[in-house]
Structure 1
Amino acid sequence: MALDNLFPGCISTRLTARVFEEEGVLQWREGKKQNFSLLQKESPIAAVPGDVKLDLRLFGVIPFKKVTLQVVPPVKVMAGGHSIGVLLTADGVMVVGYSHITLENGSKVCPAKEVDLLPGALILNVEGTAVHSDLHLSYLIDHLARKKEEIRLRVKYQEKTKEIKVKPQFCRETRRYRIGLLVRDGAAGVGTLTFYDSKTKKFGALGHIITNSGAPGAWDFKNGRIVPASVQSIQKGQPGKIGEKIGFFGEKGISGNITKNTQFGIFGELRYNLANPIFSKPLPVAMGHQVKEGPATILTVLKNEKIEAFQVSIQTVFSRPRSDGKALIIKVTDQKLISKTGGIIQGMSGSPIIQEGKLVGAVTHVLINDPTKGYGVLAEVMLEEAGLLSERKEGVSGGFSSVVSGNRI
Structure 2
Amino acid sequence: MDYRKNKTPLFFMVVIFLGLCLQLPFQTLKKLPVHQRVSVGEKLDFDLRLPKFLAHNFEFTIDGVKPSTFYLGDTTPVAATPGELEVKVKLFGLIPLRYMTVSVVPEVRVIPGGQAIGVLVESEGVMVVGRSAVVDEKGVRHNPAAEAGVELGDVLIKVNGEKVETESQVRDLINKLGQDGKPLNMEFKDRHSQEIYKTIIKPIYCSETKRYRIGLFVRDSTAGVGTMTFYDPQTRAYGALGHIISDIDTCQPINLNRGKIIGARIEGIRMGKKGQPGEKLGVFRGEDDISGNIIKNTNCGIFGKLTKEPNNTYEKETIPVAMAQEVKEGPAEIYTVLQGDKIEKFAIEIQQVHPQGRSEGKGMIIKIVDPKLLQKTGGIVQGMSGSPIIQNGKLVGAVTHVFVNDPSRGYGVFAEWMLYDSGTLPKQLSGRNCEKLTLLEISPAKLAKI
TM above 0.5, one fold? Answer: yes
Conservation of the 8 A alpha-carbon contact between 2:365 and 2:412: yes
- Partner of residue 333, structure 2: 297
Conservation of the 8 A alpha-carbon contact between 1:92 and 1:133: yes
Give the partner amino acid of 1:82: Q
Give the partner amino acid of 1:220: N
Relative to structure 1, is the Cα distance of residues 47 and 126 closer, same or farther in structure 2, using a 3 angstrom cutoff?
closer
- Partner of residue 120, structure 1: 153
Separation (CA, whole Å) in 2 of partners of 1:273 and 1:76? 16
Conservation of the 8 A alpha-carbon contact between 2:244 and 2:253: yes
| Higher mean displacement: 115-124 or 165-174 | 165-174
Please state if 1:253 is matched with 2:289: yes
Separation (CA, whole Å) in 2 of partners of 1:304 and 1:143? 47
CA positional deviation for 1:352: 0.4
Q: 1:372 aligns with which of 404, 408, 413?
A: 408
- What SS does the corresponding residue of 2:60 show, helix, strand or coil? strand
Give the partner amino acid of 2:106: P
Conservation of the 8 A alpha-carbon contact between 2:421 and 2:427: no
- What SS does the corresponding residue of 1:376 show, helix, strand or coil? strand
Give the partner amino acid of 2:70: F
Give the partner amino acid of 1:408: K
- Partner of residue 211, structure 1: 246
Task: Give the 5 Å matches for 1:39-188.
Answer: 39=73, 42-46=74-78, 48-51=80-83, 52-103=85-136, 108-157=141-190, 158-188=193-223
CA positional deviation for 1:58: 2.9
Give the partner amino acid of 1:84: I
Conservation of the 8 A alpha-carbon contact between 1:5 and 1:319: no
- What SS does the corresponding residue of 2:200 show, helix, strand or coil? strand
Q: Per residue, is there more strand in 1 or in 2? A: 1
Q: How many residues align?
A: 392
Please state if 1:407 is matched with 2:442: no
**TM-score, normalised via structure 2 length:** 0.80
- Partner of residue 384, structure 2: 348
Separation (CA, whole Å) in 2 of partners of 1:366 and 1:78? 25
Relative to structure 1, is the Cα distance of residues 276 and 354 closer, same or farther in structure 2, using a 3 angstrom cutoff?
farther
Separation (CA, whole Å) in 2 of partners of 1:192 and 1:199? 21
Q: Per residue, is there more helix in 1 or in 2? A: 2
CA positional deviation for 1:275: 4.4
Separation (CA, whole Å) in 2 of partners of 1:392 and 1:324? 12
**TM-score, normalised via structure 1 length:** 0.87
- Partner of residue 230, structure 1: 265
Conservation of the 8 A alpha-carbon contact between 1:92 and 1:122: yes
Please state if 1:312 is matched with 2:345: no
Q: 1:365-389, CA deviations, whole angstroms, 9 ceiling, x for partnerless residues?
A: 0111111111000011111211223
Separation (CA, whole Å) in 1 of partners of 2:411 and 2:234? 30
Relative to structure 1, is the Cα distance of residues 20 and 164 closer, same or farther in structure 2, using a 3 angstrom cutoff?
closer
- Partner of residue 388, structure 1: 424
Separation (CA, whole Å) in 1 of partners of 2:264 and 2:444? 15
Give the partner amino acid of 2:377: T
- What SS does the corresponding residue of 1:141 show, helix, strand or coil? helix
Larger radius of gyration: 2
CA positional deviation for 1:363: 0.3
- Partner of residue 18, structure 1: 61
Q: 2:438 aligns with which of 379, 387, 398?
A: 398
Q: 1:175-203, CA deviations, whole angstroms, 9 ceiling, x for partnerless residues?
A: 33221211111222111100011111111
- What SS does the corresponding residue of 1:279 show, helix, strand or coil? coil
- What SS does the corresponding residue of 2:61 show, helix, strand or coil? strand
- Partner of residue 302, structure 2: 266
Please state if 1:8 is matched with 2:31: yes
- Partner of residue 335, structure 1: 371
Identity percentage of aligned residues: 43
- What SS does the corresponding residue of 1:139 show, helix, strand or coil? helix
- Partner of residue 34, structure 1: 68
| Higher mean displacement: 345-354 or 68-77 | 68-77
| Higher mean displacement: 282-291 or 58-67 | 58-67
